[in-house]
């Protein structure tokens, strides 16, 4: 009986080791690829091999955050858009902060679409499926992201086209 339990424990630890290999040998500043089979968690984060990866400076739409005049769930639309960018843009990311307590990375990613390389967070914001994350003073963490959000709102891009009218 003890040998069976020991085999299960060893198997479990080998499993844990295998799911973390994508990051265990990577320094936080090393560039890493994002495979298309990651698990999308929100419109700005995913699970990659047991590690939570989150886009820096981006806040994806979640229930009521955009004030939409839709019955549909804007967080699902943001998740679908992020999944499409990952599948089609083949992101390359670089960690800028790692939390060992939560096994998560805060990252900046680039994608390549139609031969053009661009910032993935900026693509989310310009397309209207995310907004700029704000600091404790309610100011954009990234000035360029803040300006892109203003433009997306003005042009009613993506989900901004469904904002409730006062």
43 within domain boundaries: yes
Give the tens place of pLDDT for each residue, 117-134. Answer: 999 999 999 999 999 999
**DSSP assignment of 6-42:** HHHHHHHHHHHHHHTHHHHT--TTSEEE--TT-EEEE
3-state secondary structure of 93: strand
Give the tens place of pLDDT for each residue, 31-43. Answer: 999 999 999 999 9
Which element (helix H / strand E) includes 131?
Answer: strand 130-132
44 within domain boundaries: yes
Q: How many CB atoms lie within 10 A of CB 138?
A: 6
84 within domain boundaries: yes
37 within domain boundaries: yes
46 within domain boundaries: yes
- Domain residues for the domain of 146 are 27-162
pTM over the 0.75 mark = yes
**Alpha-carbon gap, residue 116 to 112, rounded angstroms:** 5
CATH (domain of 40): 2.40.50.90
The domain tally of the chain equals 1
100 within domain boundaries: yes
């Amino acid at each position: 009986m003890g040998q069976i339990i020991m085999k299960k424990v060893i198997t479990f630890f080998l499993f844990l080791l295998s799911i973390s290999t994508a990051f265990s040998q990577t320094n936080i500043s090393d560039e890493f690829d994002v495979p298309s089979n990651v698990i999308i968690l929100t419109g700005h984060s995913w699970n990659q091999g047991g590690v939570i990866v989150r886009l820096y400076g981006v806040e994806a739409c979640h229930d009521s955050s955009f004030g939409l005049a839709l019955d549909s769930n804007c967080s699902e639309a943001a998740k679908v858009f992020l999944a499409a960018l990952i599948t089609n843009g083949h992101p390359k990311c670089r960690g800028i902060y790692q939390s060992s307590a939560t096994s998560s990375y805060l990252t900046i990613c680039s994608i390549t679409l139609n031969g053009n390389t661009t910032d993935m967070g900026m693509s989310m914001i310009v397309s209207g499926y995310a907004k700029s994350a704000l600091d404790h003073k309610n100011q954009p963490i990234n000035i360029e992201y803040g300006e892109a959000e203003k433009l997306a709102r003005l042009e009613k891009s993506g989900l901004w086209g469904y904002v409730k009218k006062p």
